[in-house]
């Protein structure tokens, strides 16, 4: 099972069952034949943007945050996703174009959306390209510079002739 599949299954478990600890998630996954350590599940829960709440009966449980603004993903998660998948970053005025290998743009766009970075109005992901709209105050070149830093891409390696 891939990380994405595991995280999807964890989301389903949290939606349908009262689960209050990462250890309970590990046990449920193991009962379904999915091997995952508690450390891995804890990271998955962080990346999914979960929070602990008390339900209507007073029981503590882990739930998915209703809004990314309630529990933004840590910047380190965005750094890992961008470092792994981003191959180039280009900008124009208040737009940033982020390129990934085919089929990977949605992974980076999801991490970007959940990170709640200042100066980002939103993003649209295709198969291998993400269009990110920056606020006027932030600007595309400043945001692109931050994306390059997060991705570990030097500006010299990313400059393409004709742009």
Give the global pTM: 0.55
Residues of the chain with CATH 1.10.10.10: 3-64
- Percent of the chain at pLDDT > 90 equals 62
pLDDT tens profile 9-37: 999 999 888 999 999 999 999 999 999 99
* Rg of the chain in Å (alpha carbons): 18
Q: What dotted CATH number matches 75-158?
A: 3.30.1360.40
Query: What's the CA dihedral at 112, 115, 117, 122 to 10 degrees?
Result: 40
Q: What dotted CATH number matches 3-64?
A: 1.10.10.10
The pLDDT of 41-66, averaged and rounded, is 85
Concatenating the DSSP letter of every residue in 56-74 gives TTS-EEEEE-SSTTTSPPP
Residues of the chain with CATH 3.30.1360.40: 75-158
pLDDT tens profile 127-159: 999 999 999 999 999 999 999 999 999 765 544
């Amino acid at each position: 099972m891939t990380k994405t599949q595991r995280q999807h299954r964890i989301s389903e478990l949290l939606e349908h069952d009262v689960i209050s600890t990462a250890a309970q998630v590990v046990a449920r996954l193991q009962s379904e034949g999915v091997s995952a350590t508690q450390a891995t599940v804890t990271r998955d829960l962080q990346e999914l943007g979960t929070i602990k709440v008390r339900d209507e009966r007073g029981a503590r449980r882990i739930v998915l945050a209703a809004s990314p603004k309630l529990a933004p993903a840590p910047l380190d998660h965005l750094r890992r996703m961008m470092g792994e998948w981003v191959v180039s970053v280009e900008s124009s005025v208040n737009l940033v174009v982020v390129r990934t290998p085919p089929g990977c743009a949605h992974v980076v766009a999801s991490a970007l959306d959940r990170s709640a970075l200042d100066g980002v109005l939103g993003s649209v992901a295709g198969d291998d390209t993400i269009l990110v709209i920056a606020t006027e105050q932030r600007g595309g070149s400043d945001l692109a510079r931050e994306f390059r830093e997060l991705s570990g891409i030097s500006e010299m390696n990313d400059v393409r002739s004709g742009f």
